[in-house]
Amino acid sequence: MTDILQVENLGLHREGRDILRHLNLAVRAGEVHGLLGLNGSGKSSLAYTLMGCAGYTPDVGHIVFDGRDITTLGIRERARLGITLAWQEPARFEGLPVAQYVQLGLPSPDRERVRAALEAVALPPNVYARRAVDHTLSGGERKRVELAAVFAMRPRLAILDEPDSGIDALSLADIGALIRRMAGEGTTVLLITHRDEMTGAADRASLMCQGTVVWSGAPAEARQYYSTRCRPHIDALGVQPWDEKLPEVRAAFASDRSTAP
């Protein structure tokens, strides 16, 4: 299986801090690739950088999509190549009906596809299609609409930033099933999460800590590493404490070590 996305030595400096550094990542075509990391590890910043969002142009490194260097392309150009992003906290749109929003990314009107997408995220079309994508939707409903919009597009690469956050536990199975369904339709999925159970939907996984990817491999192993709170990374990196949370994290790691079987 070939890599559809290659990230090489990526570095991003923002607001006086190194957000991403020496980041390498390979995502194979057609796979669901889980990206696990603690809050603040740089996962969302990586998502914005891959999508080409304003303010997230890398200082060093390259992003290669399907053999083409897209590092300097804007967000829309990347979207035209088949990349899209489901935001962790999706925007709200006053007055824009759900069905129209889901339809926006499709090349031509397709009511059946919109209906199927809403059903895939357990939002009954007859209840939600005409509602606005605004503040009247709960956070969980808005997240599902976002996932429906991405699913409907059949993108080549879907970057899902914490699709499980704000959604009740009962729905996690729905989200996992949706992600597998996307892969079944040919979409490569980069599944960004800090909940290790979500890696159950992944074919491979990477572990992210302190702005870089420290390990890639089988999801079960990633989950194992992650459940011990990124200990391998901290040990290997000998990290310089540029994150003020680091002492707290280290203390937690130390605690894990002392109680680990």
The residue among 76 and 244 lying less far from other proteins, judged by its C-beta, is 76
Binds other proteins by CB under 8 A, chosen from 3, 29, 73, 93: 93
Per CB under 8 A, which region of 88-96, 216-224, 225-233, 249-257 contacts other proteins?
A: 88-96
The full DSSP string for 36-47 is EE-TTSSHHHHH
The residue among 92 and 113 lying less far from other proteins, judged by its C-beta, is 92
The residue among 106 and 237 lying less far from other proteins, judged by its C-beta, is 106
Note whether 132 binds other proteins by CB under 8 A.
yes
Buried b (16+ CB within 10 A) or exposed e, 63-90: bbbbeeebbebebeebbebbbbbbbbeb
Binds other proteins by CB under 8 A, chosen from 1, 91, 169, 260: 91
Residue 189, phi then psi, degrees to nearest 5: -120, 125
Note whether 73 binds other proteins by CB under 8 A.
no
The residue among 146 and 164 lying less far from other proteins, judged by its C-beta, is 146
Binds other proteins by CB under 8 A, chosen from 1, 16, 39, 76: 76
- Comparing C-alpha atoms, which of 152, 153, 145, 158 is closest to residue 114? 152
Residue 67's identity, in one-letter code, is G
Give one word for 161, left, alpha or beta, with left for phi > 0 and alpha for psi -120 to 50. beta
Both tokens of 214, joined, read: 């420290």
Q: Is the dihedral of CA 104, 105, 110, 114 positive or negative?
A: negative
Total binding residues for other proteins by CB under 8 A? 25
The full DSSP string for 81-102 is TTEEEE-SS----TT-BHHHHH
Both tokens of 52, joined, read: 């080409």
Note whether 153 binds other proteins by CB under 8 A.
yes
Query: Alpha carbon of 251 to those of 36, 248, 259: distances in Å?
Result: 20, 5, 13
Note whether 15 binds other proteins by CB under 8 A.
no
Binds other proteins by CB under 8 A, chosen from 15, 94, 168, 244: 94
State the minimum distance, in angstroms, from the CB of residue 94 to other proteins.
5
Within 164-223, which residues bind other proteins (CB under 8 A)?
none
Note whether 85 binds other proteins by CB under 8 A.
yes
Binds other proteins by CB under 8 A, chosen from 4, 23, 121, 149: 149
- For other proteins, the binding residues (CB under 8 A) are 51, 53-54, 74-76, 78-80, 83-85, 87, 90-96, 104-105, 132, 149, 153
